[in-house]
Structure formats: C-alpha cells, structure tokens
Structure 1
Amino acid sequence: MAVISYFLLFFFVSSSCSVHHSDDSGYKTGNLAIRVEESSQSPSYLAIRFLNLGAQTEIVAVDVAEVGSPNWNFMNRKNEAIWETNSVPSGPLQFRVVVTAGLDGKWYWASKVMPEDWRNGEIYDTGLHITDTSIMDTTGEL
C-alpha cells in the first residue's frame, strides 16, 4: 500500500513541481539537516530525522541513493519525524525529498550529504534552505 501511495504522490507532485539542487558542504544556519538515529545499523538499516525544516511545510516523500547513482530507493515514514530504509545504498549518500509547497509539492535534491562511513547520532547538513509554505494544514484542509 505504501508503495502505491508513494508512486501516486510522485505522479501528482512531479506534474507541477520544480527541483532544487545543492552540493554545498558548509553548514549554514537554517539549512535542512539530517540526524542519523541511534537505531540505525550500518550498512543494512538507516533511520533519519530531518532538522530545521520549519513549521510551514512538511516532508512527504524521501529517496536515498549512492552519490552519482541514478538508482534511488524510497524511504518509509516510520512516524511523524523518522524516515527509514532496509535498502541502504553503499558509499556516500545523496537524498531527494518532496516538501509541501503551496497546494502542491516540490522536489529538493541534496547531492552530497552523508559520507560512506556515516555514524549514529551524527548530524549532516544537506545544504538546502527550504522556505516554502504549504497552503494546506496537516489534515489536508485549506
């Protein structure tokens, strides 16, 4: 069911969204960051939490891939804050996320985020600064 929902979301969002890229490795205040949760078990299980997103939007889809690879793996939402996967790519990791923006969603791509030797509890800067605002509230109402 989650896979079907993900692909429907991708179809809906990709029809009217833009993609933003970042490979900035220096941390900037307010940038979206990723915290590797303590439950992660390299290299087979990755659980992450996004930090500094702001209250005006939310992440609704997350993909992860090895840097430079076109093979993306979607991550499952464990709860409101945690995203997880049992299909962790090898090597340094890149992420792409869909955030609510206006009445649609917008793809953001962070091309160099986590090193191959990522560690539990560490925080990694995505280089993304998300300023979008969702017109819908968390229940999907205007």
Structure 2
Amino acid sequence: MAPSLRFLLLLPATFFFMQTLAEAATCSDCFIQSQAAYYPNSDEYGTDTGRCGYGSFGATLNGGDVAAVSALYRDGVGCGSSGNTDFILSRRAFSRMGQTTDAAASLLALGVVDIEYRRVSCSYPYKNITIKIDQNSNYPYYLAFVIWHQQGRRDITAVQLCETQNFACKLLDRSYGAVWTTTSPPSGPLSLRMLFSDENGDETWVVPVNNIPQDWKAGETYDTGVQVNS
C-alpha cells in the first residue's frame, strides 16, 4: 500500500479515536465511581440542618431516600444534582441500596461502600416550582427563600426579583445552599425570574406565572405556576 494511502486511512481512524475520547470525557450519562456513607448519629431520615437549606423538608424529598454531598454542593448550585464526590445518606436511603432486609443490615454494618452513580432528571409529578420563604426573613427589610420541586437536569444559577409595576429588577445573592437572599427587597407584588443553565452552557430565563404577594410572610410557600421539563 502506498504511504499516502495509508496516511489517508489512518487519519479518519485517529480522528474517530480522539472524538471517542472527547465524548467519553464529557459524557453526562456515564457512571462515576465514588463512595457512600450514612449519618451514624441521625434518625432514619437524616438531620434537619443540611447545608442546602431545605431544613426538615429535605427528609420528605423522594420519600426520604436522600443524600448530602460535598463537592457536588458547588456553593449550592449542585444541591439536588450529581458530580465527583462521596455521598452522605440518611440511614433509610443507605439501607435501601440493599435488595433484602439482610443485605440492608450488612450495608449498615459496613458503614462505607463503593458505588457508581450518574445524574438523572428530577421528577415531581403534578407539582410546580414552589418558593418557601425562609423563617429568617423579616418583612419588608430582608427576604430569603428556597426553591422547591425543580424538575429536570438543569441548575438554577441566578435569580432576580422584579417590581411588577415599573419592572425594576434586583439580582439576588445565594447565601448558602439553595437559599436566595436580598436586603431591601423591591416593594409590591414581586415577579421572579430564574436562570436555568445546562451542562452545555446553554442558559434560559424562566418567568413564573404567579407573583410573590406584596405581603409575603416568613414560613409561607408560594406556587410559581410553572415547571421545567428538561
């Protein structure tokens, strides 16, 4: 075979190999090797003081089969999603990795196990994205809230509050976890804008149908009237 022909045949094969490596390195559906443990001093459903800011509500997510993470936390952006880190589960979630009662007891006795995982879409059938006003909020001087029931695989990377009368908007701070905060919040009914970002860098602003009422109160929940599906 002529050298030039061998080169022409080798070039596509090399390109295909490099393309395969690149796809493998960025594969969002690939399994990642990690480890999992559980809270040894917690009750069956974990604790009320997680770093994502969900409080006792976190124990109700997915029927109590929940986990906390370290690097996945990503200053709160990763609350509820996946990445390279170890998982700290509730006793209930940890034991449910065993297919039988005896297997569950064996897992609890081990304390730490090797796992493989990948990020999947969250699903909250018949639920819209919901705003829970944090107990530390102080109307009308300080507003903090968490965002519940976010479907799909995208991250909320920015949140704005806008006055519904003059449409002046204020970018909120992420104080910790999934808690968004602002001092001197806008007055009147408030329109929320959430920036959703995917793993490819694409960004989309989502505007809820329902507004946060003018007389919002600490501890209250407000249905946004919208849901994301990707």
TM-score range, shorter chain: 0.5 to 0.7
Query: Could you give the per-residue CA deviations for residues 31-57 of structure 1, whole angstroms, max 9, x where no partner exists?
Result: 111000000000010001000013622
Q: More helix by proportion, 1 or 2?
A: 2
Instruction: Say whether the 8 Å CA contact 1:93–1:112 is kept in structure 2.
Output: no
What's 1:45 paired with?
142
Q: More strand by proportion, 1 or 2?
A: 1
Q: Which has the higher contact order (CA 8 A, sep 6+)?
A: 1
- What are the ranges of 5 or more consecutive residues in structure 1 without an aligned counterpart? 1-27, 133-142
User: What TM-score, normalized to structure 2?
Assistant: 0.43
Residue 121 of structure 1 and its aligned partner are, at CA, apart by 0.8
What's 2:221 paired with?
123
Instruction: Say whether the 8 Å CA contact 1:67–1:112 is kept in structure 2.
Output: no
For structure 1, which segment, 97-106 or 78-87, has the greater mean C-alpha deviation from structure 2 after superposition?
A: 97-106
Query: Aligned pairs, how many?
Result: 105
Residue 102 of structure 1 and its aligned partner are, at CA, apart by 5.1
Residue 112 of structure 1 and its aligned partner are, at CA, apart by 3.3
Q: 1:69 to 1:29 in 2, by over 3 A?
A: farther
Q: Which amino acid aligns with 1:30?
A: K
- Structure 2 counterparts to residues 64-103 of structure 1, below 5 A: 64-101=161-198, 103=200
Q: Which amino acid aligns with 1:40?
A: S
Structure-1 separation of matches of 2:199 and 2:229: 11
- What are the ranges of 5 or more consecutive residues in structure 2 without an aligned counterpart? 1-124
What's 2:212 paired with?
114
Structure-2 separation of matches of 1:47 and 1:99: 19
User: What TM-score, normalized to structure 1?
Assistant: 0.68
Q: Which amino acid aligns with 1:58?
A: D
Q: Which amino acid aligns with 1:75?
A: L
